Amino acid sequence: MFMGEYQHSIDDKGRLIIPAKLRDSLGSTFILTRGLDQCLFVYPMEEWGLLEQKLKALPLMKADARAFTRFFFSGATECEWDKQGRINIPAHLRQHAKLDKECMIIGVQSRVEIWSKDAWEQYMQQSASTFEEIAETLVDFDF
């Protein structure tokens, strides 16, 4: 399970250090793709396989299913670590998430998310007031 929030800088070549706590669970190769909410999703290979099976089950005759599958898979790339524990984020994915300098790396259960620091702060600020309301409608247990 991935959890935590980390801040790192991306360099001019698109290389980003991923914290060791998250690297260990991602494995030696993993998938990086466009995410929702203007971030990137990073999946361990096993989790990517499970997601792939779910997306294969979507009805091909529905335009929304085709569009989402295209969005998700066309941006996907297989990654591995360099000797410094960095990944190289391709330009099209940096553009999608508007990654410039400061990045936030977020552990979210079965995946890691990469956000621009500004987008993450804006998301947290906008969402903070609704977290309790969301929890009331989604969660069936007490914390």
Q: What is the pLDDT of residues 5-63, one digit of tens each?
A: 999 999 999 999 999 999 999 999 999 999 999 999 999 999 999 999 999 999 989 99
Dump pLDDT digits (tens) for 90-133: 999 999 999 999 999 999 999 999 999 999 999 998 887 787 77
Whole-number pLDDT of residue 139 = 65
Instruction: Quote the pTM value.
Output: 0.90
Q: What is the pLDDT of residue 126?
A: 85
Coarse DSSP helix, strand, coil percentages of the chain, rounded to the nearest 5 percent: 40, 30, 25
Flag whether pLDDT at 143 surpasses 90.
Answer: no
Question: What are the extents of the domains in the chain?
Answer: 5-116
**Phi, psi angle pair for 115, to nearest 5°:** -125, 155
pLDDT category at 142 given cuts 50, 70, 90 is: low
How many angstroms separate the CA atoms of 40 and 75, rounded? 10
In angstroms, the CA 83 to CA 77 distance is 19
pLDDT of 2: 96
DSSP 111: E
Going by C-beta distance under 8 Å and a sequence separation of 6 or more, which residues neighbour residue 123?
Answer: 37, 115
Give the max Cα distance, the chain: 45
Fold for the domain defined by 5-116: Chemotaxis protein chec (3.40.1550)
